[in-house]
Structure 1
Amino acid sequence: MMSPLHQAALNHPDAIAIEGRHEAIDPSITTGNKTCNNTCTTTRVSYAQLSGLVHCVAQQLQSQGVKHGDIVACLSHNNIEMICLYWACIDAGWIFLPLSPRLADVQINQLIKRFDLQWLWTDNVSRKTAIEIANWLDIELPQKVDQLINQAVEISPHQASNIILTSGSSGTPKAAVHCLTNHLSSAKGAATFIALAPSDAWLLSLPLFHIGGLAIIHRCTLAGACIVLRDPALTLAEQLTSSHITHVSLVPTQAIQILRQHPAAFTNISALLLGGGVIEPALIDALQHLHINAYTSYGMTEMSSQITTAKANLLGHHGCPLPSRQLRLKDGLIWVKGECLFLGYLTDQGLSLPLDEQGWFCTHDKGQLDLEGQLSILGRMDNMFICGGENIHPEQLEAVLLTHPNVAQAIVFAIDDIIFGHLPAAIIDYCVADNNTNAIGLETVNAKAADLNGVNIDNINLQLSQLVESTLARFKRPRQFFGWPKDIVSSGLKVPRKSIINAIQTQIDAAKTAS
């Protein structure tokens, strides 16, 4: 088959494929007069022009020695070069491995050794000093873009096309390998629920090292829609207000921040897709109050993003499986399969795809289905612990704790107890809250959350215990509270749960030793 990118160039040659602030590639595709450091302009690249750029990038890397089947690593924030590199990998049969720029040099070097990486491209020259890679790749987008869509090659959509690192529950990155068929099946299924047309524009608010970022690329390309790059000079709210954006994917914390600061930013949004974290009822209520067309989803890297999707609702469900996905419950655990299911994890022994005899993949998430087959998530099975014979799902407690105005983030975990086996404890990222609430009912949090002068932490902890008791059950209340470790940096969108718990556990063990 032909690459979806080149097919889009044939079907929608003049449609805008990418819009972003970038050094001018070609005066014919640069519009507007917004400048950045006298070199950065608002650039719009059509699908025909993007097809030509991808062809040029593929030729450049082939001339540097990259061969079919090689892994091409990429260390960069989202930009035009990165998107071109991905589609060049599709054309040439390379495996695209995007890495988070938040990873330290030592972590990058560990990954290079672990996966025997030979090729790496970065747009940050300073990173080249300490990273030990055999070959640095150079990408130079031409100043004049030729429309070379007629030279597009046929590709095999079932071969490995990319690797996404996902920490999962262990804290050690797993290398999830996908093929193009996985992504196209995911995008086609998503389009049956959230419509997307060539006149639409989806903000690339999620990084390409995250499955949600790659999903946006495929959805837009199949539809001939525009991918809008994040403008680092603007806040999310400012960009949503100033740019033509119809679709946006956000994690709940991003949506809450926009609603607190500038709710009018969602006025022209046709679809807001939420995922990747606990979605509080207050957030759903606020979105409904403003008549924002919001959706919630349940998804995972291994299933190429969305599995189920629903209109945002106060019932707490995430809808039914989209096309090309199958889902069932077995002993309360969610199992999935379908065309979106990845090829497996890359290991020293090759690809490993852990399936049962019928080809089902265990998500290790606990869920339940209502009479209409709509899915609700109860939490991670490997996060659950038993307290005095009762199952404790940390996510349930965390959702309650997050409703308190002085809590920015919360993690519940188990501490050992002689009598009950385990007791719940909570790690809290405390913040300062105003006494006033805004019109949509979400507490306005002081931006300087680290400044806790005047905040009575003991009083807040007492309130949190009482809140859990009144909302859930008394035995579920946290017995101890710990402050959020500030030295743990996330390399992705999700909170590094295991690392934070391990840091607090180290404090607990040190205190026991000292006593």
Structure 2
Amino acid sequence: MKTPNWILQRAGQTPDRIAISWEDKQWTFREVAERAMDIARKMRGTGLQEGDRVALLTAGGPDTVFLIHGGLLAGFELVMLNSRLTQDELAYQIEDSGAKAVFADDALLERVPDSTAVSHLLSGEGMDFEPVKLWEEDRTLTIMYTSGTTGFPKGVRQTAGNHLSSAVASALNMGLQEGDVWLCAMPLFHISGFSILCRSLIYGMTVRLQTKFDAEASAREIAEGSVTTMSAVSAQLVRVLDILEARNERASGRFRQILAGGGPVPSPYIRRAEALGIRILQTYGMTETSSQTATLAAEDALRKTGSSGKPLFFNRIRIDGAEKPGDEGEILISGPHVTPGYVGRFSDKPAQVDGWLHTGDIGRLDEEGFLFVLDRRSDLIISGGENIYPAEIEQVLVGHPAVAEAGVAGVEDERWGQVPAAFIVGREDVTAEELETFCRERLARYKVPKHFRFVAELPRNASNKLLRRELRTKFDLQE
């Protein structure tokens, strides 16, 4: 199967429609394609060939968009490097992926000593060539490394077919409207950000780009209605809600929804958002699934609060070992959006077993087929033989008016093996005794945190996901 080269196809179909908006500047799809083609020629002018693996290390913004599209037009497999990684972490991913070249923003060159500066690339000579007009659906477009919550990060292959099926399934679930503008505050090297660029090309939709998340600007644009959809994680969502509430503002009637990923959204956040006229669509996805696998449809948002919804149109989900609705177990995923495999040291590891991806996440399906993600299997706390899910405790804690953010991790305990410890970012002064009482009224006794720590911020990765393993380390250091 083949699919049209999205960049060329979109520039031909709607050349004058706005593709990218950033600060006070904007570019049409024709202009984006022209800039990308110029970069593609210069990339090929360095001696690189179609099919080569090339790594990108950039800070974000429109120049990153042009560079990504340029690499795709040049026919490369793009290794998307996380700009927040250390030099050693980047070196591992570059070596593991087998990248033949690294193009880095000038400000990031010291992270990868052997890289080529983007400014040097742009000043070089180009080579004329004809970009492929049809992509094979099994062609690898991108390689993204997992966040490495356990062991070495894995380089995940994402094909044209993976990205295409993800984008189409998302549209079938959320719908498309004329004039849609997607606010992208997620890193473009991450699947959450890159998938928005894919949707832009496939849908013919404008992306309102932020170089990095700006809560003030996001709240303003939601209130003004200059954007219609936003992708966010809980930590970003709560900052936007705080600003809107402080300004006594609501979302514009033109604003449609926030697609929330990166873990369960606490129900207090959802209630606050609803009061401001914002629909929160919880999603579930991962690097291996090229973004969403399940999303809670708007008509079910109130009825199924806390759920990540049903599998999108092409996808299937089952719970390993479940005999009836409600049984908990590992979430397994099947569908055309699932990666065909890994690169480097994990290239021999099958991504799927009998057609199913084993996610390492714990969840359940209710009697109507709605998915509830309970937690990462690696974050599960086993205390005295009881299973405790940190996300459940976090949801309770952020329901306290004095708590802005909460993270929970299991720490060693001589009597119980493990007990939950809570790390709190306060909104106002509150004591551990008050929070313990609050939790006792809402949680089974064994789930109540045995330790409380107050911190200025919680450890998160580049996509703002909470890093519970670092909470455990932080607890050990404070003991």
| TM-score normalised by L of structure 1 | 0.81
Paired residue type of 2:196: I
The answer to whether the Cα contact below 8 Å between 1:246 and 1:271 also exists between their aligned partners in 2 is: yes
Query: Whole-Å Cα distance in 2 between the matches of residues 195 and 290 of structure 1?
Result: 22
Rate the CA distance shift 1:205–1:171 in 2: closer, same or farther, 3 A: farther
- Counterpart of 1:491 in structure 2 is 462
SS in 2 for 1:348: helix
Query: Whole-Å Cα distance in 2 between the matches of residues 487 and 209 of structure 1?
Result: 22
- Counterpart of 2:410 in structure 1 is 414
Alpha-carbon distance, 1:491 to partner:
3.5
SS in 2 for 1:237: helix
Query: Whole-Å Cα distance in 1 between the matches of residues 456 and 441 of structure 2?
Result: 28
Residue 205 of structure 2 is aligned to residue 219 of structure 1: no
Query: Whole-Å Cα distance in 2 between the matches of residues 50 and 247 of structure 1?
Result: 22
Rg: which structure is higher? Answer: 1
Matches of residues 439-454 of structure 1 in structure 2 within 5 Å?
Answer: none
Residue 351 of structure 2 is aligned to residue 354 of structure 1: yes
Query: Whole-Å Cα distance in 1 between the matches of residues 275 and 258 of structure 2?
Result: 14
- Counterpart of 2:324 in structure 1 is none
- Counterpart of 1:430 in structure 2 is 425
Query: Whole-Å Cα distance in 1 between the matches of residues 404 and 12 of structure 2?
Result: 48
Alpha-carbon distance, 1:361 to partner:
0.9
Rate the CA distance shift 1:265–1:47 in 2: closer, same or farther, 3 A: farther
Paired residue type of 1:221: L
Paired residue type of 1:132: P
Alpha-carbon distance, 1:150 to partner:
9.3
Matches of residues 177-326 of structure 1 in structure 2 within 5 Å?
Answer: 177-197=157-177, 199-230=179-210, 235-241=217-223, 244-262=226-244, 264=249, 266-267=251-252, 268-310=254-296, 311=298, 312-313=301-302, 315-326=305-316
Alpha-carbon distance, 1:182 to partner:
0.2
The answer to whether the Cα contact below 8 Å between 1:198 and 1:226 also exists between their aligned partners in 2 is: no
Equivalent of 2:29, from 47, 57, 62?
A: 47
Q: Deviations over 1:80-111 (max 9, x none)?
A: 23222222333333121222322233433343
Rate the CA distance shift 1:131–1:253 in 2: closer, same or farther, 3 A: same
Query: Whole-Å Cα distance in 1 between the matches of residues 346 and 441 of structure 2?
Result: 51
Alpha-carbon distance, 1:214 to partner:
1.2
Alpha-carbon distance, 1:386 to partner:
2.0
Rate the CA distance shift 1:130–1:224 in 2: closer, same or farther, 3 A: closer
The answer to whether the Cα contact below 8 Å between 2:426 and 2:454 also exists between their aligned partners in 1 is: no
- Counterpart of 2:139 in structure 1 is 159
Alpha-carbon distance, 1:352 to partner:
3.0
Alpha-carbon distance, 1:347 to partner:
2.6
Rate the CA distance shift 1:266–1:133 in 2: closer, same or farther, 3 A: farther
Q: Deviations over 1:199-256 (max 9, x none)?
A: 2211111111211111111112111111111166863223445672111111122222
The answer to whether the Cα contact below 8 Å between 2:173 and 2:313 also exists between their aligned partners in 1 is: no
Residue 73 of structure 2 is aligned to residue 91 of structure 1: yes
- Counterpart of 2:112 in structure 1 is 131
SS in 1 for 2:174: coil
Equivalent of 1:394, from 383, 387, 390?
A: 390
Rate the CA distance shift 1:501–1:349 in 2: closer, same or farther, 3 A: closer
The answer to whether the Cα contact below 8 Å between 2:410 and 2:472 also exists between their aligned partners in 1 is: no
The answer to whether the Cα contact below 8 Å between 1:69 and 1:93 also exists between their aligned partners in 2 is: yes
Q: Deviations over 1:341-366 (max 9, x none)?
A: 0122323363533322x211111222
Q: Deviations over 1:413-465 (max 9, x none)?
A: 23333332322222x133242xxxxxxxxxxxxxxxxxxxxx46xxx211222
Query: Whole-Å Cα distance in 2 between the matches of residues 292 and 239 of structure 1?
Result: 13
| TM-score normalised by L of structure 2 | 0.87
The answer to whether the Cα contact below 8 Å between 2:17 and 2:29 also exists between their aligned partners in 1 is: yes
Query: Whole-Å Cα distance in 2 between the matches of residues 250 and 485 of structure 1?
Result: 21
Query: Whole-Å Cα distance in 2 between the matches of residues 355 and 53 of structure 1?
Result: 38
User: Which structure 2 residue ranges, 5 or more long, are not aligned?
Assistant: 322-328
* Amino-acid identity (%): 28
Alpha-carbon distance, 1:152 to partner:
5.7
The answer to whether the Cα contact below 8 Å between 1:197 and 1:225 also exists between their aligned partners in 2 is: no
The answer to whether the Cα contact below 8 Å between 1:297 and 1:306 also exists between their aligned partners in 2 is: yes
Alpha-carbon distance, 1:374 to partner:
1.0
Root mean square deviation of aligned Cα: 2.8
Query: Whole-Å Cα distance in 1 between the matches of residues 458 and 20 of structure 2?
Result: 36
Query: Whole-Å Cα distance in 2 between the matches of residues 486 and 256 of structure 1?
Result: 14
Residue 310 of structure 2 is aligned to residue 339 of structure 1: no
Rate the CA distance shift 1:186–1:126 in 2: closer, same or farther, 3 A: closer
The answer to whether the Cα contact below 8 Å between 2:41 and 2:74 also exists between their aligned partners in 1 is: no
Query: Whole-Å Cα distance in 2 between the matches of residues 141 and 296 of structure 1?
Result: 44
The answer to whether the Cα contact below 8 Å between 1:81 and 1:139 also exists between their aligned partners in 2 is: no
Alpha-carbon distance, 1:487 to partner:
10
Rate the CA distance shift 1:160–1:352 in 2: closer, same or farther, 3 A: farther
Query: Whole-Å Cα distance in 2 between the matches of residues 360 and 219 of structure 1?
Result: 25
